[in-house]
Structure 1
Amino acid sequence: MSAKPSIVKGTRDFLPLTMVKRNYIFSTIKNVFEKFGFLPIETPSMEKTETLMGKYGEEGDRLIFRVLNSGDTLKKADTKAFEEENLVRFANSLSEKALRYDLTVPFARYVVQNQNELSFPFKRFQIQPVWRADRPQKGRYREFYQCDADVVGSDSLIYEIELIQIFDEVLSKLGLTDFTIKINNRKILSGIAEVCGESEKLVPITVAIDKLDKIGKEGVVKELVERGISQEAITKIDPLFDLSGNNDEKIKQLEAYLAESEVGLKGIDELKFVLNRIKSLGLDKAKLELEVTLARGLNYYTGAIFEVAANNVKIGSICGGGRYDDLTALFGLKDMSGVGISFGADRIYDVMTELDLFPTELMAATQYLFINFGEKEQDACLNLAKQIRDKNVSCEVYPEAKSMKKQMKYANDRGFPYVILIGDNEMNNDSITLKNMVSGDQDTMSTSEFINQL
């Protein structure tokens, strides 16, 4: 007996109704991106391993899915490296390709490779799947979609303001009414490390404090110790865990804390500009909150950092992003500042499902089902179906003259709002009978009257 088929953990099949809902999310995001002047691009699912490695920090590198070399290229594996227990070199000799971890690093490679064909500032959006070798759990998948918007070629803070507005507009249009956009600045984190006398350990500090909401203060302190941060530095960091008040009050506390750090004060100035401009412009549903422990753990961020969470659902962040002044320099193109955001479509889907936010009309992807009474009636249905589709309205003809009970069950299972019946009487009178599947009401009208009201 053959084994029951299954899929890889952390991946999913999507049934038609699920796809309708997912496409609703994608189209909402896409429409807002386009409204702000972003242009669509796509990049390959696979990148060269060297393109991806070393761009996401130590933890990120471990989650990159490598693609095993095939055919004769496997013969080139560095077996000597294996014998010498140099597993990194051995792994690199086995795999020259990897599935993309996110859309940002491939985008940086894209910009460098196509720089002569692009006009800067270049605003792009990209909606494609990414892969991470993570432990599957609620809201965390190994294959999932990201919906990114990025601008490269300008260091203007106007783009931080636009991206915050995009967060607000997209999530508001999707029906979320209680969500928080958290904001910080990597320069502030650099200033904190400088004030603590641990400038050279910025990355381990940011990786640790970024976990505050997951492992708590004690867990962060423990990790800082494990990462070699001195007790004196930890003592200086401690007040930041309890920073309170509104954004203006937090800014004042940070200005005092970072008074001796030039880079830290520059980060505060950038934050003040963005916060003050957003305050004057206003947001629809979002709350904008300064969170000094927000770090996002990715090495390429250099300025603003964003993270968005739905306040009434325990699922982690649903969006994120930040500024990355030096990313394209990794591929040989310097002085190309960039800033971008990413919507986690899968987590947004889970949030909307839990909160029952999908419009009920989405369930009816097709509007009309023709009941099939026989060959003669079927021809009439096909003729009318063409006229309906010419009006850009969706419809379907049941393929066989099965029992009425079976055809109506199909209509209910598929969620058709209306069923059209064309029998002998309707054919003789050039009419149809229209049944409302929600109310159960039936109405007979001429074919021309029906077509005109579409």
Structure 2
Amino acid sequence: MASKPSIPKGTRDFSPIEVSKRNYIISIMRKHFEKYGFQPIETPSFENSDTLMGKYGEEGDRLIFKILNSGDYLDKVPTEELQTINYKQLTGKISEKALRYDLTVPFARYVVQHQNEIEFPFKRYQIQPVWRADRPQKGRFREFYQCDADVVGSTSLWQEVELVQLYDSVFTELCLEGVTIKINNRKILSGIAEVIGASDKLIDFTVALDKLDKIGEDGVKKEMIEKGISEVALEKVQPLFNFTGTISEKIDKLSILLDSSEEGKKGIEELRFICETVSKLGLLKANLDLDVTLARGLNYYTGAIFEVSAPKTVAMGSIGGGGRYDDLTGIFGLKNMSGVGISFGLDRIYLVLEELNLFPETVTTSTKVMFLNFGESQAFEAMKAITELRSKNIKSELYPDNAKIDKQFKHAERRNIPYVVKEIVDGKFTLKNILSGNQTAVSLEELIIELQ
């Protein structure tokens, strides 16, 4: 007996209803991306390993799915090396490609490879799946979609302002209230590391600090000490663990803390411009907040960094994030190409909308009307009408088999089809509303009006 098939942990099948809901979210994102001037691109699902490795920090590199070379992938490995435990050295010889971890690094590769064809500043959006060998849990999957919008070729902070507005406009149309767009700046984090004497451990410092909401103050301090950050440094950084007030008040506190750091002061001025400008322009529904513990583990951000939190009524992590990366393309040989971008977490946004019951009922409506099948003669008349309805963008179909009428009705009910045409007599269509039970005989023109 054949074993029951299954799918890998951290992956999912999607039903027609789920796909319709996801497409609803994507359509709103795409509309606003294009409204803000972003153009679509796509890149391969896998890249050369050296394109991805070393771009996400030590933690990120461990989560990259490697692809074994085609054919005899052990062919180029000496027998003596197979007997060693140096998996890193071995991996480089048996795997030359990897599934993309995000869309930003492949985008940087795309920009460098196509730089002579691109008009800068270049605004692109990309909606494609990515893969991470993470531990599956609620809202965290090994295969998931990212929906990114990036601008490269401009250092203007107006781009950051627009990206905050873009987040706000998308979540507003999704009717998602209570969203918080958190903002910080990597220059501020660098300045803090400088004033506490831990500049040589900036990455360790920021990676640990970014986990404050997950492992708490004690957990962060413990990790920092394990990474070699001194007790004296932790005392200096203590104010960050209880950093409250308005954005303006927080900026004033940072100005005092970072008075001796030129890098930190530069970050403060960038934050001040973005936050004050957004405040003057106003947001529709989202909230903007300065979070000094926001670090994001990815080590390529150099300026503003963003993270979007779901409404507090929902137990969900971030539903978006991004930031400024002044020299990301430099890793591929193209210097002085500043970029900034944001990402929407499609899967998590879906879960939030589902939990808050924010999907419109029309999203899951597929077929509007189904014609019952009474045999070939009437089926042909039905198909002529269906062809006309479809030309008017009315979703219509014919039940394919001349089955019992009760079976056909139940099929329409199970699929939530709101109308059925029971029969066609002398050019009149007997239209029944399944929900109300009402039925009426109408002409084709009247049928079109009713269904539209």
Tell whether the structures are fold-level matches, with TM greater than 0.5.
Answer: yes
CA distance in 2, matches of 1:306, 1:229: 26
Range moving further from structure 2, 409-418 or 206-215: 409-418
Instruction: For 1:278 and 1:420, locate their aligned partners in 2 and report how far apart those are by CA, in whole Å.
Output: 54
> How far apart are the structure 2 equivalents of 1:7 and 1:442?
45
What is the SS of the residue equivalent to 1:116? coil
The match for 1:398 is 399
* Equivalent-residue separation in structure 1 for 2:434 and 2:228 (angstroms): 67
Q: How far did residue 256 of structure 1 move?
A: 0.4
Deviation at 1:252, TM superposition (A): 0.5
Secondary structure (helix, strand or coil) at the match of 1:228 reads: coil
Q: Are the aligned partners of 1:431 and 1:444 in contact in 2 as well (CA < 8 Å)?
A: yes
Q: Distance in 1 between matches of 2:261 and 2:238?
A: 18
Q: Would you say 1:180 and 2:209 are equivalent positions?
A: no
**Pair 1:367-2:368 in alignment:** yes
Q: Give the match for residue 384 of structure 2.
A: 383
Q: Report matched runs for 1:212-251 at 5 Å.
A: 212-251=212-251
Cα distance in 2 between the residues matched to 1:437 and 1:74: 62
Report deviation, 1:88: 1.1
**Contact 1:81–1:87, Cα closer than 8 Å, also in 2:** no
* 8 Å Cα contact 1:161/1:278 also seen in 2: yes
Q: Deviations over 1:174-201 (max 9, x none)?
A: 1211110000000000000000011111
CA distance in 1, matches of 2:257, 2:295: 18
Letter aligned with residue 247 of structure 1: I
Is this contact kept in 2: 1:129–1:144, CA < 8 A? Answer: yes
Q: Which amino acid aligns with 1:442?
A: Q
Rounded to whole Å, the distance in 2 between the matches of 1:185 and 1:77 is 45
Partner of 1:260: 260
Shift of the alpha carbon at 1:234?
A: 0.8
Deviates more, 1:278-287 or 1:328-337: 278-287
After superposition, the C-alpha distances for 1:346-398 in whole angstroms (9 at most, x for unaligned) are 01111111111110111212211111122211111100000001112211100
Structure 1 residue runs of 5 or longer lacking an equivalent are none
The amino acid that maps onto 2:352 is V
Distance 1:271 1:136 in 2: 35
SS at match of 2:421: strand
In structure 2, relative to structure 1, the CA distance for the partners of 1:415 and 1:278 (3 Å cut) is same
Cα distance in 1, alignment partners of residues 118 and 348 from structure 2: 32
Q: Which residue number in structure 2 is paired with residue 307 of structure 1? A: 307
8 Å contact kept, 1:79–1:90: no
What 5-or-longer segments of structure 2 have no aligned partner?
A: none
Tell me which residue corresponds to 1:353. 354
Secondary structure of the residue aligned to 1:75 is coil
Which residue is equivalent to 1:445? 442
- Residue 293 of structure 1 pairs with residue 293 of structure 2: yes
Whichever residue aligns with residue 91 of structure 1, its letter is T
Equivalent of 2:430, from 407, 424, 433?
A: 433
Equivalent AA in structure 2 for residue 362 of structure 1: V
Contact 1:10 1:141 survives alignment (8 Å) = yes
1:340 paired residue number: 341
Q: How far off is 1:427 after superposition? A: 2.2
**Root mean square deviation of aligned Cα:** 1.1
Q: Distance in 1 between matches of 2:231 and 2:156?
A: 38
Whole-angstrom distance in 2 between the partners of 1:436 and 1:322: 51
Structure 2: distance between partners of 1:254 and 1:143: 39
Return the alpha-carbon distance in structure 2 between the equivalents of residues 401 and 70 of structure 1. Answer: 50
Residue 353 of structure 2 aligns to a residue in which SS? helix
Letter in 2 for 1:439: S
After TM superposition, give the deviation of residue 246 of structure 1 in Å. Answer: 0.8
Could you give the per-residue CA deviations for residues 39-84 of structure 1, whole angstroms, max 9, x where no partner exists? 0000000100000000000100000000011214430135554545
| Matched residue SS, 1:20 | helix
Q: Percent identity?
A: 60
Q: Secondary structure at the match of 1:98?
A: strand
Q: SS of the counterpart of 1:434?
A: strand
- Runs ≥4 residues deviating over 4 A: 78-84
Of stretches 309-318 and 59-68 in structure 1, the one that deviates more from structure 2 is 309-318
Could you say what secondary structure the match of 1:50 adopts? helix
Give the conservation status (yes or no) of the 8 Å contact 1:186–1:305: yes
2:190 equivalent in structure 1: 190
Letter in 2 for 1:9: K
Does the CA contact (< 8 Å) of 1:46 and 1:97 recur in 2? yes
Contact in 2 for aligned 1:151/1:159 (Cα 8 Å): yes
1:78–1:280 CA distance, 2 compared to 1 (3 A):
farther
1:61-100 to structure 2, matched below 5 A, reads 61-77=61-77, 79-100=79-100
Q: Matches of 1:215 and 1:452 in 2, distance apart? A: 59
Describe the shift of the 1:79–1:304 C-alpha distance in structure 2 as closer, same or farther (beyond 3 A). Answer: farther
State the one-letter code of the partner of 2:385: L
- CA deviation vs aligned residue, 1:259-294 (integer Å, no higher than 9, x gap): 110000100100000001100111111010000000
Task: Give the whole-Å Cα distance in 1 for the aligned partners of 2:80 and 2:200.
Answer: 35
Q: Deviations over 1:400-431 (max 9, x none)?
A: 12122111111111111211222xxx422x11
Counterpart CA distance in 2 for 1:78 and 1:372 is 68
Distance between the aligned counterparts of 2:239 and 2:159, measured in 1?
31
The offset of 1:86, in angstroms, is: 2.9
Measured in 2, the distance between the counterparts of 1:79 and 1:364 equals: 60
CA distance in 2 between partners of 1:334 and 1:402 (Å) = 68
| Paired position in structure 2 for 1:9 | 9
Equivalent AA in structure 1 for residue 126 of structure 2? Q
Letter in 2 for 1:410: H
CA distance in 1, matches of 2:265, 2:114: 36
348 and 79 in structure 1: CA distance in 2 versus 1, 3 angstrom threshold: farther
Partner Cα distance (1:42, 1:88) in 2:
30
- Displacement, 1:333? 0.2
Structure 1 residue 140: deviation in Å? 0.4
